[in-house]
Amino acid sequence: MGFLNASSSFTRFRIADPVPATLWPTLPDKLKQFCFRDIDNTSDERSWGWVCFDDMLDTAWRTAPPEKGGYIAFSLRQDTRRIPAAVLKKHLSLALREEEARNKEQGKKFISRERKKELKEQTRLRLMSRFLPIPAEFNVLWAIDTGIIYFASTQSKMIDLFSDYFTLTFDLHLEPLTPYALAASMLDEAAMTRLDTLEPTRFAG
């Protein structure tokens, strides 16, 4: 669910590094440099990259620029190919039967473990090109004045992917803005010392 929906789940980050003033003029070019690459006509399993906030099919930001008032808005798109397990099992069984028939003609009695692994990989790659990738879009809002970033996902794998790709793109590291991290940004040293010594309360008998 994105930020334009009636409800949305998101993760907050703060930028751990100083943001150089020279970044802002080059930011649109960096987004285009690391934009999403289509894999419809390939057998690749996954692809990800930045796309326009207003149109996930737009990787050149012709629909609208990323600058929106006091925010930078864009999205992380990820396309994933998935082969249903039953389909893979069926076609692997067919491949194994064909291999057994060839072995029988050559006087061989069994298929080696290595050959079975090879057949499974060949079958997977062959099927990959026959399934269209499933697209997913995750909105990103970057508050320029505070350095707070909102990412429209709470999935741990997507959070890791977003953090790593953000750092690769902008050479800036992100820190999840957890309740503790938020308290650390608001409290003084004495208050943080008291916070660190707090013990949880047990409400169950």
Non-local (6+) Cβ contacts of 167 within 8 A are 173, 174
Q: So what's the pLDDT on residue 23?
A: 95
**Shared-domain flag, residues 67 and 34:** yes
Provide the token pair at 1: 């669910």
**Shared-domain flag, residues 63 and 154:** yes
Domain holding 159, by residue range, is 11-80+138-196
**Shared-domain flag, residues 66 and 158:** yes
Provide the token pair at 25: 């003029």
Q: So what's the pLDDT on residue 172?
A: 96
**Shared-domain flag, residues 97 and 188:** no
**Shared-domain flag, residues 121 and 144:** no
In a domain, 3, yes or no: no
**Shared-domain flag, residues 119 and 190:** no
**The total number of structural domains that make up the chain:** 2
Q: So what's the pLDDT on residue 152?
A: 96
- Does an H or E element contain 131, and which? none
Mean pLDDT by 10 residues, the chain (205 residues): 84 93 95 95 91 96 95 96 88 86 82 86 84 93 94 95 97 87 72 75 76
- Does an H or E element contain 111, and which? none
**Shared-domain flag, residues 55 and 143:** yes
Domain C-terminal end among 128, 161, 186: 128
SS (H, E, C) 10-22: CEEEEECCCCCCC
In a domain, 47, yes or no: yes
Q: So what's the pLDDT on residue 1?
A: 60
In a domain, 133, yes or no: no
Which residues of 60-117 form beta strands (DSSP E)?
67-68, 71-80
In a domain, 158, yes or no: yes
In a domain, 21, yes or no: yes
**Shared-domain flag, residues 98 and 189:** no
**Shared-domain flag, residues 71 and 142:** yes
In a domain, 57, yes or no: yes
In a domain, 2, yes or no: no
**Is the CB of residue 39 less than 8 Å from the CB of residue 79?**
yes
Q: How far is CA 9 from the centre of its chain?
A: 15
Kindly report, residue by residue over 48-72, the tens digit of the pLDDT.
999 999 999 999 999 999 999 999 9
200: phi then psi, degrees, rounded to nearest 5? -65, 150
**Shared-domain flag, residues 188 and 103:** no
**Shared-domain flag, residues 69 and 146:** yes
**Shared-domain flag, residues 99 and 159:** no
3-state secondary structure of 90: helix
In a domain, 203, yes or no: no
Dihedral angle computed from the Cα positions of residues 5, 55, 153 and 186, in that order, rounded to the nearest 10 degrees: -90
